[in-house]
Amino acid sequence: MWRGGPRVSILDVTAVLREQGADIERSVVGVERAAAAPEHPKVYRRRSGRAMAGVAGGLADHLGIPVLYTRVAFTLLAALGGAGVVAYGLLWIFVQQVSSDEPAREISGKERQQAFGLVALGLGLAIGAGTLAGTVNGWVAGSTSVALVGAALVWREADQSQRRRVRGAVLGGGGRSAVIRVVSGAALVAAGIVIFLISSIGLDQVQFALLAVVAALVGVAVITVPWWLRLVRDLGDERRARIRTEERAEIAAHLHDSVLQTLALIQKQADAPREVLRLARGQERQLRSWLYGPSGYGRGVADGRIEGGLLAEALARAAGEVEDTFAIKVQHVAVGDCELDERLFAVVMAAREAMVNAAKHAGVAEVSVYAEVEPEKVTVFVRDRGKGFDPEAVPDDRHGLADSIRGRVERNGGEIRLRTAPGDGTEVQLHMPRAKVST
Amino acid sequence: MSDKRLVRVFLVDDHSMFRAGVRAELDTLTDDIEVVGEAGTVGEAVAGIGHLRPDVVLLDVHMPDGGGAEVLRQSRKAFPEVVFLALSVSDAAEDVIAVIRAGARGYVTKTISSQELVTAVLRVSEGDAVFSPRLAGFVLDAFADRPGAAPISDPELDLLTPRERDVLRLLARGYAYKEIASELFISVKTVETHVSSVLRKTQLSNRYELSRWASDRRLV
C-alpha cells in the first residue's frame, strides 16, 4: 500500500528496473569486449547464427561484409585443390569463439539452407577437383572426406562443450544427442582410416598392423586437437588471472592489516602525540621491512638467506622492540655483518639492555646504535645525548648496567667501556672478539 | 636587514603535500632560507633549476619519471654552482649511493627534524657535505677493505684514509661535527674537509660494485 508519498505504479518501477538491467547488461558486455580486445580487434568465430563452426560468419563480422560473401569465397576456394576446406579447418582450430555473453543472432531458415548448400557444394568441389586433377584417387578422396566429416562432427561437439569445459569431459553435460554425435563422429573418422588402409592393401601383415596403429593414433590426435588447444589456452588465461587476483588480494590484505589499522588508531589517539609517534614509527618500520626487507615484497623471493641468524638483523629487531616499547627513535647503523654465535648473541642482548637504559633514564627522543664487524672483533656503540650520570654515584642495588650489560659481555670474553658524565649523554661501547673462523 | 645573503632553496618532490610541509617549516623556522620554487616532476625540476638558479636543491630520490639521479644527471653539468641535497623517505643503500654518486652533496631522510634540516641546508650551501649516520655507515661499508667485501678494481683511487674512516665512524655513531672535532682533537673545519673528501671519493670512484655490493648485502 503506497500512502503519503508520491504515487508510483508498480509498472513504472519494473519498467525502470528493466531499463537499468538492460543498461547494466550492455555495459557488462561492453566491458568484456573492451577487456578481450584491448588494442587491435581480434577475429572471433560466431557462436550463434552459424552453419558449421562460425568461421565464415566471424570473418564476415571482422571484415564488415555480408556472411554470404565469405561463405561463397570458401566454397570457391574449396575447388582449388581443397584450399578452402583446409583454410576453414585451420581457422576453426586457431580462432577462438566469442564468449557466450554475446547477444544471440537470429538465423533464418533460408539462410541456413543456403549455407548448408554451400557447404555441400564446397565439399563436392574439393573432392571433385581432387579426383579430376588425378592427384588423389577415389579411394583416398573418399576415405579422407569420410574421416574429415567425422572429425568435423566431433569438433563441433567440442565447441559446444566449451561452456562446460570446467568438467573437462568431452561429453560433459551434453546429453544423449551429444554422445551420439561424438561417437558417430569418431566412428566416421575410424571408418575413413580403415577405408584408407584397405585401399592400400598389399603390404604384409606387420607393416599393416604398424600402419593401423599409427593411423589410429593420428586419428585420436586429430579428434582431440581442439581440446588440447583449448586446454592450453584456458590454463594460461586462468593462471594469469589467478596470479593477478592473488597478488591484489595479498596487497589489500596487508594494507588493511597494517596501514589502515594504524591510521585508524592514530585518528583515535590524535591528542596523544607520543602514542601517535610510536604507532607511526612501528608502522613505518614494518612496512619498510615488508617492502624492502630481506624476504620483502619488493625483492621477490629469489634469494633465500636464512633469517634471524645475522647480527645486523638481530640488532635491528632489538632496536625495533625498544622503539615500540618506549616510544623513542632508535637510529641503528650496521657496517658489515656476520652470523650470530653465542658471544654475539650476548652482545646483542647487552646492546638491547643499553638501549632500554637510555630510553628509560636519559630522557631523550633518540638513541643511536652503531655496530661494526671487523675481521677480529665486533664493536657496538649505544649512544644518547641525554642526562648522563656519574658512574661512581650509581647505587649498588642497580643491576641493569652491572649484570645485564657488563656481566653478560665479560662472561663471554668481551669488555665494555662507558663514557658518560652528567649532562653529557652516555655511550656504552661493547667490544667482543670474534671466534676464529677457519676458512 | 642583515648582510647575510638568503639561501635560495628549490624543492623537488612528487608529493605536493610534502612540499607544502617542508616549505612551511623552512619559512617559519628560519630567516636564512627562502624557498624560491618547487617542482613535482623531473622535467619541471630541470626547467625550474635552470630558470631560478637556486643555491640549494632539496631533491627527492624516488619520482615517477626517473627520480633524483635523473635530475642530477640533466642539470648538474649545466649549473655546477647549484648544490643538491637529497631528502628521501628511502634509506635503501642503493638509492643513497646512487644519488651521492650522481653528485648530491648530502643525503638526509625525511624523518629528519626540521631544525636539523635547516642546519643541513645551510651547511651544504656553504660547501660542506651532510652525512646522516646511516649514509656514513653505507660509505664505510662500501669502502671496507675487509675480506669478503667488494674487490677494489682501481687501486690508485680511494681507499679511505684512517682519519677519514675515524670521522665516518663517529658520524655513524651519531656524533655531530662539533663532537667529532673535540673527540679527535681537530677543528670542525678539518672534520668538514674530511667529510667532503669522502664525498668526493664516493662520487669519483668508478666502481659500480659500490651499489651492487650494497644491494647484494641488502643494507636496508
B70-99 pLDDT per residue, tens = 888 888 888 888 889 988 877 677 777 778
Instruction: State whether B134 and A427 contact (CB < 8 Å).
Output: no
* CB–CB contacts below 8 A, A to B: 51
Secondary structure (H, E, C), chain B: CCCCCCEEEEEECCCHHHHHHHHHHHHHHCCCEEEEEEECCHHHHHHHHHHHCCCEEEECCCCCCCCHHHHHHHHCCCCCCCEEEEEECCCCHHHHHHHHHHCCCEEEECCCCHHHHHHHHHHHHCCCCEECHHHHHHHHHHHCCCCCCCCCCCCCCCCCCHHHHHHHHHHHCCCCHHHHHHHHCCCHHHHHHHHHHHHHHHHHCCCCHHHHHHHHHCCC
Strand B106-109 to A329-335 pairing: unpaired
As a whole number of angstroms, the distance between CA A64 and CA A70 comes to 11
Chain A hits for B220, CB-CB cut-off 8 Å, are 288-289, 292-293
Angle at which helices B93-102 and B68-75 cross, to 10°:
10
Instruction: State whether B146 and A374 contact (CB < 8 Å).
Output: yes
Q: Which of B174, B175, B220 sits opposite A293 (nearest CB)?
A: B220
Q: Which of A299, A372, A375 sits opposite B147 (nearest CB)?
A: A375
CA distance A91 to chain B (A): 44
Q: Which of B92, B175, B218 sits opposite A294 (nearest CB)?
A: B218
Which CB contacts under 8 angstroms, 24+ apart, belong to A209-216? A216/A190
CB atoms within 10 A of CB B85: 23
Residue B89 φ/ψ region, left for φ over 0, alpha for ψ in the -120 to 50 degree band, beta for the rest: alpha
- H/E element, A427: strand A426-433
Given this model, what pLDDT does residue A6 score? 46
**Is B34 in contact with B58 (CB distance < 8 Å)?**
no
- Would the ipTM clear 0.85, i.e. be above it? no
CA distance A388 to chain B (A): 15
Instruction: State whether A335 and B217 contact (CB < 8 Å).
Output: no
As a whole number of angstroms, the distance between CA A216 and CA A154 comes to 16
Chain B hits for A383, CB-CB cut-off 8 Å, are 173-175
Among chain A, residues having any CB pair with chain B shorter than 8 Å are 284, 288-289, 292-294, 299, 312, 329, 331, 333-337, 368, 370, 372, 374-375, 381, 383, 427
**φ, ψ of residue A155 in degrees (nearest 5):** -65, -40
Given this model, what pLDDT does residue A213 score? 76
- DSSP per position, A69-132: HHHHHHHHHHHTTTHHHHHHHHHHHHSPBPPTTSPP----HHHHHHHHHHHHHHHHHHHHHHHH
Chain A hits for B146, CB-CB cut-off 8 Å, are 336, 374-375
A376-412 pLDDT per residue, tens = 889 999 988 888 887 777 766 666 677 778 888 888 8
CA distance A406 to chain B (A): 20
As a whole number of angstroms, the distance between CA B53 and CA B55 comes to 7
Q: Which of A333, A374, A382 to mutate to test the interface with B (most CBs of B within 10 A)?
A: A333
Q: Which of A292, A337, A370 sits opposite B172 (nearest CB)?
A: A370
Q: Which residues contact B179 (CB under 8 A, 6 or more apart)?
A: B170
Segment A289-297 shows an average pLDDT of 66
C-alpha grid cell, residue A246: 592473488
Angle at which helices B114-125 and B16-29 cross, to 10°:
80
Task: Give me chain B's average pLDDT, please.
Answer: 79
Residue A425 pLDDT greater than 80, yes or no: yes
Given this model, what pLDDT does residue A24 score? 43
Given this model, what pLDDT does residue A363 score? 83
As a whole number of angstroms, the distance between CA A165 and CA A178 comes to 14
Q: Which of A284, A292, A334 sits opposite B137 (nearest CB)?
A: A334
Segment B159-185 shows an average pLDDT of 86
Given this model, what pLDDT does residue A314 score? 86
Note the pTM of the prediction, 2 decimals: 0.55
As a whole number of angstroms, the distance between CA B16 and CA A173 comes to 59
Say how far residue A176 (Cα) sits from the centre of its chain: 38
Instruction: State whether B217 and A337 contact (CB < 8 Å).
Output: yes
A233-275 pLDDT per residue, tens = 888 888 989 888 888 888 887 777 778 878 888 888 888 888 8
Q: Which of B147, B174, B217 sits opposite A370 (nearest CB)?
A: B174
